Structure 1
Amino acid sequence: MKISHNSSLKELNTFKVDCITKTHIVVENNNDFKDKEFLKYTNDTNPLFLGGGSNVLFTKNLTQPVVQIKTKGKEVKKENDKFMIIKIEAGENWDDFVKWSIEHNLIGLQNLAYIPGTVGATPIQNVGAYGVETKDFLVEVSVINIKDGTEITLTNKECKFGYRDSIFKHELKDSYIVKNITLNLEKYNGHIDDKYLQYAGIKEMADNQNLSLNSLYKIIADIRKSKLPSIEKYGTCGSTFKNPQLPIDEYERLKEQFPDLPMYSTEIENIVKIPAAYILEKLGWKNKRVGDVGTWIYHPLIVTNYGNATGAEILSFIKDMQTDFKSKTNLDLETEINIV
C-alpha cells in the first residue's frame, strides 16, 4: 500500500481534468484492505474508489481519500472442454483481460472490446456494448466492507443488475468495494452465434472476411475507435449518457416528433430503449463546442475535453445538454459517469 498527500489526479482520469486529493491511497495487495492504516482512512470518511478513472468526472478538489485499486491476478477455478470459470482481481485492465480470454479460446467478451477501465468497475456499471453485458457471464463478485475489511460474496442475482446499474450503485454504495469477480466463459468451437453480430456495422464487416474471435474483436475495436476520441490526445469518458428506456406508447409519441427514431427491445415487457445520440444529433448537439468542452465530431453522446477544460466547465456543458433534451422530449437524460 502506498499513501501520498495533496496529490494531483490529472493523470488518473481519462477526462484529463486536474483535481487535488488530500489523500491518495494505492492498494496493490488484497491484504491492504485489512491494514489498520487503510481502515483508519476509510472509517473516518467515505473514500472514493478509483480504477482506471474512465468513468468519473472530478468537478472540485477532494478532501475524502481516493483509493486506487491496482490488485492483479487471474485464477482458473474450473475448466472442461465446454467452459472455463475464472476469477479475476479488480485491478486488472479490462481490455487486456478481454484479449487474454480470446487468446485462451473463450467466446463472449470480444463484444466488450476496447472499453477502458479495470475489471472491478465492470459489475458496478454492468458494463455493456453491442448486445453483451457483464451480467451475461458473471457468476459471483467478492466485495470488501471498507469499514472493517470483512469479505462477502454476491451471486449474479444478488447483484441486482440492470441497464448500466447494479446493487453497487445503491444499497452497497460507499460501503463495499469490489475485490474480484468470477466469470463463466464458453469455449469457442468455431461458431460465432448471431447474437454477437446483431448490431449495425458488425455483421456487414464480418460478412466480408473469414470470421474468428480475433477478427471479431478487431472489428468491434475498430468500430469503437472510429466513434471515440483518442484518449491519448483528448479527455473523455466515452458515452456520457445512458440511452433512455420508456414505455412503448411513449416511444410512439416521440415518433411523431422524430419519425425515424429507432428503438430496441429490453428484458422488460412493453419497455423499449431508444438511442439518445439520435435525438441529440437532431437537436444540434453533434460536434458542438463551448470553449474547450464539446461533443465529439462523430458522436453527440461523447462529451470531450478538447484542451484544458475544468471539471466544472464540463459539468455545466452536460447540464445544458440534459436541460435541452428534457425540454424537447420530456425525458430525463441520465449520465453514465460518476460525477464527483
Structure 2
Amino acid sequence: MSVPEISAASSAPWFAAAYPLRAHNTFGFDVRARLACRVTSEADLLDAVRDPRAQDMATLVLGGGSNVVFTRDFDGLVLLMSLAGKRCVREDSEAWYVEAAAGENWHDFVAWTLEAGMPGLENLALIPGTVGAAPIQNIGAYGLEMAERCATVRAVELATGEAVEFDAAACEFGYRDSFFKRAGRDRFVITAVTFRLPKAWQPNARYADLARELARNAAQSGHAAADTITARAVFDAVVAVRRAKLPDPLELGNAGSFFKNPVIEAAQFDALRAREPEIVSYAQADGRVKLAAGWMIDRCGWKGRALRGAAVHDRQALVLVNRDNATGADILELAQAIRSDVLARFGVELEQEPVCL
C-alpha cells in the first residue's frame, strides 16, 4: 500500500444523515450520528470536514469503535475510517518497516505480518480495533506496547490539510497514552502507521498466563517448551488466552479492558501491601509499581455482578459488558460504583480507558 497523498480535488465524499452507529461501537449501543461520512482516502477526509453540511459540527473519528462509550446520539459528524492497505516499505539488516493504513483491522494486520515472515507484534494479537487507533491508546498486552514497535505515524492536521509525519518520540507515548490522546485528538486524524519489526526476534513470554499456555501447547505436542516458542506459537497462545478470558464483542458488547492498571509510588505500594499482602503487582523501571486493577475489582466482589443491563464479566473483572440492552449511562454508573469501592478499600483511584460521549 502507498499511503495516498492529499489531493487538491476529489469527488464529493459519501454522506448519510441520522446514521446508525450500533455496528460501529463494540458495546453495541443503539445510537445515531447527526451526519456520517465514510473515509477511504486523505482527500475524502479533507473534503468531509470542509463540506458545508459539516460546518460548525463536532467531529468524531471512528475506527472499530472499541474504545468509546456513547451515552447519547452524537450531534455532529462521524468519520468512519476505512483507509485500507498494508505493505513492507523497506528493510535493512536489522528490521522490516511495515506500513498499514488507519482503517485496517488490527488483529488481521498482526496475522498478516506473521504470514509474511515479519514477527514482532504477536503479543498484541486479538486486540479489537483498527491500526489507526493503536497509537492513540498505545495499546499493549502481555509484556509489549505498540510504542516499542512504532517507527512513524502519519496524520492529517485538519486545520491546515497538511500531512504530518510523527516519529515515535514526537508521539509522546505513555502507558495507554499518547500525544494524539491528549493534545492531538481534535487537531489530527491518523491515516497510517509504520512499524519497525526487528529481525533479531526473541519471544516475549514472561507473563504467567502466556507462559502456561505455551507450556501446555508444548506438552501436547511432545516437545520441550523452549523448542516450540516461535512467533506463531506466541500468537496462538495469546489468542487462546484472550478468548478464554475475554468476551467476543460480536456476542457480548464490551470495550475490552475498561480500566487502566494504576501505577503508584513505591512508598504507597509498601503501605498497601502491608494491608493486602496478596495484592498483584508489577515493578516498573522507574521504581513505581503497577497494580492489577482486575484483581482489586475482583476482591471488591464485583466480578459477575450486574447493574441493570450492565455487568462485570464473570471471567475478567476488568471488562464491563452490555449484558441486556444497557445504555452508556448504565455502563458509566457501574464503573463509578466499582471505582468507589476500589478507592474505599485500596486507596487507589481507577481511571477508565474508553472515551465517553
Provide TM-score, normalisation by structure 2.
Answer: 0.90
- What's the offset of the Cα at 1:330? 2.2
What is the one-letter code of the residue matched to 1:278? W
Counterpart of 1:110 in structure 2 is: 122
2:207 to 188, 199, 212: 199
Residue 39 in structure 1 maps to residue 50 in structure 2: yes
Residue 237 in structure 1 maps to residue 248 in structure 2: no
Matches within 5 A, 1:3-14: 3-14=15-26
Q: Distance in 2 between matches of 1:137 and 1:211?
A: 20
Q: Distance in 1 between matches of 2:340 and 2:21?
A: 29
Deviates further, 238-247 or 319-328: 319-328
Q: Secondary structure at the match of 1:86?
A: strand
2:177 to 165, 176, 189: 165
Residue 292 in structure 1 maps to residue 309 in structure 2: yes
Matches within 5 A, 1:1-340: 1-35=13-47, 37-40=48-51, 44-80=56-92, 82-187=94-199, 192-193=202-203, 196-208=204-216, 209=218, 210-267=228-285, 269-340=286-357
Report the aligned-residue RMSD: 1.5
Q: Secondary structure at the match of 2:170?
A: helix
Q: Deviations over 1:103-160 (max 9, x none)?
A: 1122220000111100000000000000101110111111111233211111100111
- What's the offset of the Cα at 1:80? 4.0
Q: Deviations over 1:50-87 (max 9, x none)?
A: 00011111001111211110000123221245421121
Contact 2:58 / 2:75 at 8 angstroms: preserved in 1? no
Q: Distance in 2 between matches of 1:260 and 1:34?
A: 53
Deviates further, 305-314 or 202-211: 202-211
What is the one-letter code of the residue matched to 2:265? P
What is the one-letter code of the residue matched to 2:313? W
- What's the offset of the Cα at 1:204? 2.5
- What's the offset of the Cα at 1:192? 3.5
Q: Distance in 2 between matches of 1:275 and 1:117?
A: 23
Q: Deviations over 1:177-231 (max 9, x none)?
A: 10111111123x6x633xx100012222323422322221111001001111122
Q: Distance in 2 between matches of 1:175 and 1:29?
A: 18
Q: Distance in 2 between matches of 1:14 and 1:234?
A: 9
Q: Distance in 2 between matches of 1:250 and 1:276?
A: 16
Q: Secondary structure at the match of 1:105?
A: coil
- What's the offset of the Cα at 1:42? 6.0
Q: Secondary structure at the match of 1:185?
A: strand
In structure 1, the gaps of 5 or more residues are none
Q: Distance in 1 between matches of 2:269 and 2:133?
A: 31
Contact 2:213 / 2:241 at 8 angstroms: preserved in 1? no
Q: Secondary structure at the match of 2:45?
A: helix
Contact 2:120 / 2:231 at 8 angstroms: preserved in 1? no
Q: Secondary structure at the match of 1:249?
A: helix
Q: Secondary structure at the match of 1:303?
A: strand
Contact 1:107 / 1:185 at 8 angstroms: preserved in 2? yes
Q: Distance in 2 between matches of 1:20 and 1:97?
A: 29
May I ask how many residue pairs the two structures share in their alignment?
334
Q: Distance in 2 between matches of 1:26 and 1:149?
A: 18
Q: Secondary structure at the match of 2:74?
A: coil
Percent of paired sites with the same residue: 31
Q: Distance in 1 between matches of 2:55 and 2:123?
A: 39
In structure 2, the gaps of 5 or more residues are 1-12, 219-227
- What's the offset of the Cα at 1:322? 1.3
What is the one-letter code of the residue matched to 1:38? V
Q: Deviations over 1:269-296 (max 9, x none)?
A: 2211010111111110111112221100
Q: Distance in 2 between matches of 1:135 and 1:232?
A: 28
Contact 1:235 / 1:306 at 8 angstroms: preserved in 2? yes
Q: Secondary structure at the match of 1:97?
A: helix
Contact 1:326 / 1:332 at 8 angstroms: preserved in 2? yes
Q: Deviations over 1:5-47 (max 9, x none)?
A: 0111111111011111101111012221232x43236652330
